[in-house]
Structure 1
Amino acid sequence: MAQADAQTTNPIRSRLGAYYELTKPGITGYVMVTAGVSAFVASRGRLELTLAMNTIAGTGIATAGALTLNQFVEREVDTVMHRTQGRPLPTGRVSPMEALGFGSALLLGGLIYIALALGVLPAAITAASGLMYHGVYTPLKTRSYVATLAGAIPGALPMLIGWSAVTGSLDSGALALFAIGYFWQLPHVLGLAWILREDYTRVGFQLLPPGGDRSIGLQMVASTAILIPISWTPTFLGFTALPYAVGATVIGGGFLATAFRALREMSDENARGVFFASLLYHPLLLFLMIFDTLRLLMSAA
């Protein structure tokens, strides 16, 4: 009897796991974090728990839907690239129509949730993010390096979702956080695209700029260098103070150093260094924002 129950349970768990995998939980989770931090900074540390939960949940549901739909759209490409062949659609664990229905339900549900709980502006930004991701970035991937520049826009829009959920508008603070998110993604994607260049070439993805290794390295350096002064803008606008600005400069300098190494020699090791530095940089920067926002709130109390 127990064995029969286990045999029934395992397929169910496997099925649920496949649907969970479709949502790219790592990326979805981090998008939820960025929206939540943006809302927290916009509130100057006075973010209500209900608003925080609605912002994080709504953003997560819509993002999960958009990423599921991306796997539906790119299901044939995913069967060719080595790193994606184990995904639910290439392996047949989920059918294309099931993925389409699941993703559509999540995206639509997330948009309705955000509109009702947070307002029209956050919902409109969420919809724009989905349209930009599927209507511009995805089709451009096989046509032009512009895809990388365009794809960073929907990647940074969750910062505006969180900010507008609190303020009901988009002001200089919102644009500052958006700019940080945008320029952070460029070296992140370039590093990953270099590491996966053979897979990307196999399916015709053009996420690396023309001009060879030096052009790639120069764009890594340029985007990480621009990040440093842009990262100071929350302090200039009064949302953070000197401790944040100093910390942002230190970690920005470390990030920039990895980009210069890649410029001197574009290799798998150095590209991986840029990529992993990007994985550390942005979470650390968000932590510094939270820390200094709380510090200013407590000092004013």
Structure 2
Amino acid sequence: MAPTTPTPPAPESGVAPESGAEAPRTFGRRKPPRHPLYELTKPGITGFVMVTAGASAHVAAGGAAGLWPMIHTLVGTGLGTGGALALNQVFEREFDARMQRTRARPIPSGRISARAAGVFGTALLAVGILWLAVTVGVLPAAFTALSAVAYLWVYTPLKRTSYLATLAGAIPGALPALIGWTAAGGSAFDLGGWVLFGIFFLWQLPHVLALAWLLQDDYRTVGFFLMPPSDPDGRKIGRHMVFHSLSLVLLGFAPTLLGLTGWIYGAGATVLNLGMLAACMAAASDMSFDRVKRVFFASLLYQPLILALLLVDTRPLP
């Protein structure tokens, strides 16, 4: 589940700067407020996590996952993810209130109390885990619980103390692959499930590092270590993005080699992975706002496209 941190959220543009302050460079537009409970679940991130789990279940079942198991997988994953994302905002409400891009969230803006949000998030998470355990099995429920623990009690506190938070946060973001895989009857030890986990783990790293560079002033305000502290020009981040995207090129073809997908996926994934690598290499040579922003938006485009390739080119089980 998301950053689960799961995967970490797409940027939310902040409120207008105080009078006399220089307007920060932003990307994306501020969305109008919606019901605070709805916003707490971060529907966009939750939706992507659900689709990731569903696509993994589809691959594990050789394209023949039953309708109701798939529905139960999506519902349980969505509930658990939404609950964990809500609880994350409870834990970080003081930091959210100080950052430009997050101060309009439901808790710091005063549209809901931290207590009410905590009750809501806890209930959603518990119901999601229970739903999965009852309908599709203990293993997907356990992976959902593990994802929440890694997100809330490892990644969330670690990003205030260590750059390792970037790696730690990618773990809950990739666990939906194993939630879906085991929900479809796959084993927790199947190589195919871990290959999908690795693909979604590696995809997140350039995504998060690009976001950290673009929002470095906001993160510095609250002391978040989502990029190396001794990297004022971004050279380390640039090298790390290239390394992770190169690893993704090497791993991305594995589902075809394992016989899980056909050559349509293999060719498409190779093109996508090389595109990510090219964007990261361009940014590493010049860590300008525009080039890093291209990496971020390329990573946003990558996820739905790789999921679509998995869905359309899964091979039947032998």
TM-score, length-scaled by structure 2: 0.87
CA distance in 2, matches of 1:96, 1:168: 38
Correspondence for 1:269: 290
Q: Which of 203, 207, 212 is 2:222 aligned to? A: 203
Question: Relative to 1, partners in 2 of residues 1:233 and 1:80: Cα closer, same or farther, differing over 3 Å?
Answer: same
Question: Residues 195 and 268 of structure 1 are in contact (CA less than 8 Å); yes or no, is this contact kept in structure 2?
Answer: yes
Amino acid at match of 2:75: A
Q: Percent identity?
A: 53
2:95 pairs with 1:77: yes
2:132 pairs with 1:111: no
Correspondence for 1:258: 279
Q: Deviations over 1:67-96 (max 9, x none)?
A: 000000000001000100111101111001
Correspondence for 1:68: 86
Shift of 1:43: 0.6
Correspondence for 1:286: 307
Structure 1 unaligned segments of length 5 or more: list them: 1-13
Correspondence for 1:227: 248
Correspondence for 1:9: none
Q: Deviations over 1:174-233 (max 9, x none)?
A: 000000010000000001111110000000000002442111000000000110121111
Aligned length: 284
Shift of 1:297: 4.5
Further displaced range: 175-184 or 249-258: 249-258
Shift of 1:168: 4.3
2:161 pairs with 1:140: no
Correspondence for 1:32: 50
Question: Residues 255 and 274 of structure 1 are in contact (CA less than 8 Å); yes or no, is this contact kept in structure 2?
Answer: yes
TM-score, length-scaled by structure 1: 0.92
CA distance in 2, matches of 1:25, 1:100: 17
CA distance in 2, matches of 1:235, 1:31: 23
Between structures 1 and 2, the one with greater helix share: 1
Correspondence for 1:3: none
Structure with bigger RCO (C-alpha 8 Å, 6+ apart): 2
**Runs of 4+ in structure 1 displaced over 6 angstroms?**
none
**How big is the alpha-carbon RMSD for the aligned residues of Structure 1 and Structure 2?**
1.6
Shift of 1:286: 1.1
Structure 2 unaligned segments of length 5 or more: list them: 1-31
Question: Residues 121 and 168 of structure 1 are in contact (CA less than 8 Å); yes or no, is this contact kept in structure 2?
Answer: no
Question: Residues 54 and 70 of structure 2 are in contact (CA less than 8 Å); yes or no, is this contact kept in structure 1?
Answer: yes
CA distance in 1, matches of 2:136, 2:185: 10
Local SS of the residue matching 2:313: helix
Q: Deviations over 1:126-153 (max 9, x none)?
A: 1110111111100001101000010000
CA distance in 2, matches of 1:250, 1:87: 37
